[in-house]
Amino acid sequence: MAGDVRLGGGQLVNLPRGRELLGFGSVGLLAYAADLALFTWLRGPVGLEPLTAKVISFVAGCSVAYVGNAFGTYRATGPRGLRPYAVFFAVNAAGALVQLLCLAVSHYGLGFTSQRADTVSGAGIGMAIATVLRFWGTRTLVFRNEGRVGSWTG
């Protein structure tokens, strides 16, 4: 089945797609909140430069998302540790690049330079595309299992 996972002893368990999507989305919202709160604090009271603050908050957000997915959404799939975290981080970095690319195309390529246009392209359209990429990468590259064929579609 689409949501089948194998436990350590080889026992096949079904993880319904709706529950998987809900778990992934909930963890993503928590990670986003952690990233945003830390970024705001680092830029405000701490007084760090924007890029330094964003790098730190991005790493923290990725860490929250990895822990939430490893011990929550995908707890039955097994892999934990430095290697899966590194792959998870790479998938999230690819998602961040997608968001930046959407913003760059809109702002510099199409000439939509207002703050609203930047928000729609980067945090709206870019986030939507990046979330699909992150879900696919998390499911197929980080928390994959033998009971499921590589794609999130089956």
What is this structure's pTM? Answer: 0.73
The predicted pLDDT at position 62 comes to 93
Residue with tokens 């990895």: 66
DSSP per residue, 78-132: ---SHHHHHHHHHHHHHHHHHHHHHHHIIIIIS---SHHHHIIIIIIIHHHHHHH
Instruction: Report the Cα 65 to chain-centroid distance in Å.
Output: 7
The predicted pLDDT at position 17 comes to 78
CA distance 87 to 102: 23
The predicted pLDDT at position 116 comes to 86
The predicted pLDDT at position 145 comes to 65
pLDDT under 70: residue ranges of the chain: 1-16, 145-154
